[in-house]
């Protein structure tokens, strides 16, 4: 059973947040400290997205192997 945190997580929302952070970083209106903070948040989101995509890739590879075994 998935925990509430896992079911609330959404890839598309994280990508949108990363894009918003990039917009803020590119605006040039942030202080250096804010740039560091925003960068850390974006890096965290990117790691989460990477793990999500890796798990998806593994699921697809497993499904392909199962289909091959059924032939």
Between residues 25 and 1, the one the model is more confident about: 25
Q: What is the pTM of this model?
A: 0.79
What's the average model confidence in pLDDT over 10-14? 98
Please give the average per-residue pLDDT across 62-66, as a whole number.
93
Q: What is the rounded CA–CA span in Å between residue 34 and residue 3? A: 32
The mean pLDDT of the chain is 92
Instruction: Give the Cα separation of 17 and 23 in Å (integer).
Output: 10
Which parts of 1-71 fold into alpha helices (H)?
A: 4-8, 11-27, 32-70
pLDDT, tens digit, for every residue of 26-56? 999 999 999 999 999 999 999 999 999 999 9
């Amino acid at each position: 059973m998935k925990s509430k945190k896992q079911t609330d997580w959404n890839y598309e929302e994280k990508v949108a947040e990363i894009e918003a952070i990039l917009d803020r970083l590119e605006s040039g209106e942030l202080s250096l400290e804010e740039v560091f903070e925003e960068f850390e948040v974006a890096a965290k989101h990117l790691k989460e997205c990477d793990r999500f995509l890796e798990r998806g890739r593994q699921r697809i590879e497993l499904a392909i192997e199962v289909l091959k075994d059924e032939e």
